[in-house]
Chain A
């Protein structure tokens, strides 16, 4: 990815307090956090990483507007333009009666578009056996993956250990070794 000596340091934590403290410390010391893997959504992590807000709500808005337009268009075209059928003497364009279906389709397309965008952006469904940073991240391990852009590995290890990491290992940035950590220290 970046630089000839690049690699990653994988530090595993037992609790979110330690993890959050570690994230703050390493960022203050100028390290780049590659990613964080956790068994549940840790609140405060996005803020600690100064991560940008998700743009998913815009997809919802677009989907909802598309749903609304489609619903109103379909109903008006069918019931007013294409074949204005007299039902109980009601006017062809009885707009109020079109409200429930317009509402439902707004919700439907808004929700489906957001879910689809989520799957697409997160790359879910592309690979069914993901390379996990540590075997326990879907169980009880909170894992911080640090990018070693400039090789300050010793310093990084020390910081992470001081922050309470229970396990630290190094990943060299080559396709073959990414799956197996080459070295483990308690």
Chain B
């Protein structure tokens, strides 16, 4: 038994809770009626979701003309929101898969909620291409199936089709990972919930888990394999998303920098969202002992690293636009920084490059209010990054006669608000019904800390 030098460091779980205490702390909020603050949040989320449903319904019934798109700016808000939500999801996979492979113990308290966030964010993302189809009931046309038109197959060389496959795979694997990770905890809930519909639900979902050594052994192997598969998957997903742009010939998009740039941005934005959610959740669900200031600080450091990476990509792009000598590329970046959408560009620069630099100071990294504001700014900044990349590259076409401006209509704004409504509705239901902290993983970390 190699005793790790963990005794020299602060424990990741505060106050030395016993195993039973951990079960009680995590399960208690699930057995009680939702609190007033939860109800208030849920009402707001549902209202936003309703607005989104109305807007989407109006768009589908009337047509894509209800959006502010035009001949030059052929996609804008929808694809911005799509890339934004997909990016949010990436932090969940990073925390649960990559940090698992690196045996980072601190991830155990936050992995479950981050994975849940991934699932819900990918659902929100999927909504946008679906709605942009205009006739979402024909969405199955994107899959290669024998049809009466030849059969006419989908174009396997198109990044948009790669996207379909990548996102479906990502969602499926993330969902399996999330569900499998929850089975032991669902069994814990099954065994402590009094008879009733909740107990039956937990019994059904825990699939008869009995904690046997043989099952645990296979379970650990499965988790490791899924983590190993999810890690290259998460890198591939956002790389493929970036190829939607990079394989085109539009100045500002046609660059080999895009895949790593998008992956770094995705992790950055995802950690921003995890931070926002966890600062709220630990407070509302009284889980400060498990999601400690140290966890928040560790996430702040990742924000600093990924934010700096993203900033480095911004500067590289600018430098190469000038150094590359391509007049169209140069014009596109000149237009981004100084053109009519300069306000969006500088919002992006401020939130993503400058704000994370505050995390160099320990005092700021360990202040919850500061972290909360920073995490919100990161979310805003990363949304604007996608808006800037997409709209400013399109609105000034090669021919000045095609130059135009893009402004979203209320329908597009409504659908964006609706996607936040969907996300928070699902997340709030999740924290009320399912264990948001991986009890069995925290217990194993606790046992390891107690031993040394």
A31-77: which residues lie under 8 A (CB-CB) from chain B? 35-46, 49, 51, 54, 56-57, 60, 74-75
Using a CB–CB cutoff of 8 Å, the interface residues on chain A facing chain B are 15-17, 35-46, 49, 51, 54, 56-57, 60, 74-75, 78-79, 82-83, 85, 87, 90, 94, 97-98, 100-101, 103-105, 107-108, 110-112, 114-115, 118-119, 121-133, 135, 137-140
Query: Across the interface, which residues of B come within 8 angstroms of A49, CB to CB?
Result: 213
A104 touches which one: B154, B169, B215 (CB < 8 A)?
Answer: B169
> Nearest CB to that of B215 among chain A residues?
A122
Given contacts A15-B450, A39-B19, A125-B208, contact A101 B156 (CB under 8 A): yes
A164 to B217, CA, bound (A): 24
A98 to B161, CA, bound (A): 11
Query: Across the interface, which residues of B come within 8 angstroms of A60, CB to CB?
Result: 225, 229
Query: Across the interface, which residues of B come within 8 angstroms of A54, CB to CB?
Result: 217-218, 221
Given contacts A37-B210, A122-B214, A124-B207, contact A101 B161 (CB under 8 A): yes
A53 to B398, CA, bound (A): 62
A41 touches which one: B152, B232, B440 (CB < 8 A)?
Answer: B440
Given contacts A35-B213, A100-B166, contact A41 B444 (CB under 8 A): yes
B441 touches which one: A40, A43, A111, A112 (CB < 8 A)?
Answer: A40
Contact call A97/B441, Cβ cutoff below 8 A = no
Q: Which of B78-86, B181-189, B290-298 faces chain A?
A: B181-189
Query: Across the interface, which residues of A come within 8 angstroms of B18, CB to CB?
Result: 140
Contact call B192/A127, Cβ cutoff below 8 A = no
Interface string of B170-199 (1 = CB under 8 A from A): 001100100010011001101110000000
Query: Across the interface, which residues of B come within 8 angstroms of A103, CB to CB?
Result: 232, 236
Residue picked from A40, A49, A83, A123, most chain B C-beta under 10 Å: A40
B144 to chain A, nearest CB (A): 6
Contact call B208/A123, Cβ cutoff below 8 A = yes
B414-452: which residues lie under 8 A (CB-CB) from chain A? 439-441, 443-444, 447, 450-451
Query: Across the interface, which residues of A come within 8 angstroms of B184, CB to CB?
Result: 39-40, 138
Contact call A83/B153, Cβ cutoff below 8 A = yes
Query: Across the interface, which residues of A come within 8 angstroms of B173, CB to CB?
Result: 107-108, 111
Query: Across the interface, which residues of B come within 8 angstroms of A97, CB to CB?
Result: 156-157
Query: Across the interface, which residues of A come within 8 angstroms of B187, CB to CB?
Result: 138
The number of chain B residues touching the other chain, given as a range, is 35 or more
Query: Across the interface, which residues of B come within 8 angstroms of A79, CB to CB?
Result: 153, 155-157
Query: Across the interface, which residues of A come within 8 angstroms of B144, CB to CB?
Result: 74, 78
> Nearest CB to that of B239 among chain A residues?
A100
Beyond A41-B444, A108-B168, A115-B222, list 12 extra A-B contacts (CB 8 Å). A15-B450, A36-B212, A38-B213, A40-B440, A41-B220, A82-B153, A83-B150, A87-B155, A104-B162, A107-B169, A130-B208, A139-B20
Query: Across the interface, which residues of B come within 8 angstroms of A111, CB to CB?
Result: 172-173, 176, 225-226, 229-230
Contact call A51/B23, Cβ cutoff below 8 A = no
Given contacts A40-B441, A83-B150, A121-B218, contact A139 B191 (CB under 8 A): yes
Given contacts A83-B150, A107-B232, A115-B180, contact A138 B222 (CB under 8 A): no
Query: Across the interface, which residues of A come within 8 angstroms of B214, CB to CB?
Result: 35, 51, 122
Query: Across the interface, which residues of B come within 8 angstroms of A105, CB to CB?
Result: 165, 169
Interface string of B218-257 (1 = CB under 8 A from A): 1111100110011011001000100100000000000000
Contact call B451/A114, Cβ cutoff below 8 A = no
Query: Across the interface, which residues of B come within 8 angstroms of A41, CB to CB?
Result: 216-217, 219-220, 440, 444
Interface string of B293-327 (1 = CB under 8 A from A): 00000000000000000000000000000000000
Contact call A101/B19, Cβ cutoff below 8 A = no
> Nearest CB to that of B216 among chain A residues?
A41
Contact call A124/B183, Cβ cutoff below 8 A = yes
Contact call B443/A137, Cβ cutoff below 8 A = no
B69 to chain A, nearest CB (A): 24
Contact call B233/A107, Cβ cutoff below 8 A = yes
Contact call B221/A139, Cβ cutoff below 8 A = no
Query: Across the interface, which residues of B come within 8 angstroms of A87, CB to CB?
Result: 155, 157-158
Query: Across the interface, which residues of B come within 8 angstroms of A138, CB to CB?
Result: 184, 187-188, 190-192, 209, 211
Given contacts A35-B214, A39-B188, contact A100 B203 (CB under 8 A): no
A178 to chain B, nearest CB (A): 13
| Interface flag for B10 (CB, 8 Å) | no
Query: Across the interface, which residues of B come within 8 angstroms of A100, CB to CB?
Result: 159, 162, 165-166, 236, 240, 243
Given contacts A101-B161, A107-B233, contact A16 B451 (CB under 8 A): yes
